Amino acid sequence: MIDLHCHMLPGIDDGPTDRATSLEMARVAVADGITLTACTPHIYPGLFDNDASGIAAAVSRFREHLDEAGIPLEITQGADIQIVPELLEGLRSGRFPTLHGSRYFLFEPPHHTVPPRFLDTVFDALSAGYVPVITHPERLTWLDDQHYGWFLEAARMGAWIQVTAGAVTGRFRDQPQYWAERLLDDGVVHLLATDAHHYARRPPLLAEGREAAAKWVGPEEAERLVSDRPRAIVENRDPASVAPPAGLGGERWQGRTSSTIGNAGGLSRALKRLFRLSA
């Protein structure tokens, strides 16, 4: 499996503060079956002022530490880039890194504030030749029925959607799980990633998310979420050459669909909706 969103580098953002914690995260990832991790610290000007050169240097140092510790985890670089006015300029200049030097980059909406010009920013990035990978929409506190359509439209425009593996399993509680399942059931999720920050509190576990996602999209598509499409990003493949999720033209798994009355998936979603509205 390939994890393209992980805060594993020590002392660079709100992830691990020391090398020992980072190495333990790497051991957990390897034990889970992850072979390649993109180290993607936050870029949030004024809070986490990281840039491509600093991240590359940190990745190089940590790669040496992994070798010294005998941990067989490959790592590459990227960044969890907050939506900011200088986003496109930062990508074009190389100050903001893409994933493994590809056309794909992690595109992080603010957690608690509805971003202005969200779809315009997606369009601008796509028009410039980049593919925004929208990170963890299911965990945004402002996500509701009104704004859910933004992410469907972004996916139709050509952005990729990344859901956190732990959200699918319930590690982030009910509402993120509800939205994660809804995105999966609507067939617009391209990737699962760990978004890990610690080996225990926010662990780099991807297999459990793959198994939970398989209940909604089937085992073959679940494997694409953690292996095939992440590999396509690492290889910088044209997104048009990559099998899309079912809601964007891919093959629909027949085991569970929200359109079937009495279906277990639809029932689960309906119950979660009732829970959310009554909370």
Give all domains of the chain, ordered by start, each with its CATH number: 79-278 (3.20.20.140)
C-alpha dihedral (13, 15, 19, 24), degrees to nearest 10: -160
Check residue 278 and give its pLDDT.
42
Check residue 17 and give its pLDDT: 96
Per the document, the length of the chain is 279
Strand partners, 24: none
pLDDT of residue 262: 33
CB 246 within 8 A of CB 217: yes
pLDDT in tens, the chain (279 residues): 999 999 999 999 999 999 999 999 999 999 999 999 999 999 998 889 999 999 999 999 999 999 999 999 999 999 999 999 999 999 999 999 999 999 999 999 999 999 999 999 999 999 999 999 999 999 999 999 999 999 999 999 999 999 999 999 999 999 999 999 999 999 999 999 999 999 999 999 999 999 999 999 999 999 999 999 999 999 999 999 999 999 999 999 987 644 332 344 444 454 544 444 444
Q: How far apart are CA 111 and CA 235, in angstroms?
A: 30
Measured between alpha carbons, how far is residue 210 from residues 8, 169, 191, 224 in Å?
21, 9, 10, 9
pLDDT given at position 256 = 60
Task: Specify the pLDDT at position 258.
Answer: 45
Looking at residue 269, its pLDDT comes to 53
| pLDDT given at position 47 | 86
- Tell me, what's the pLDDT at 143? 97
pLDDT of residue 259: 38
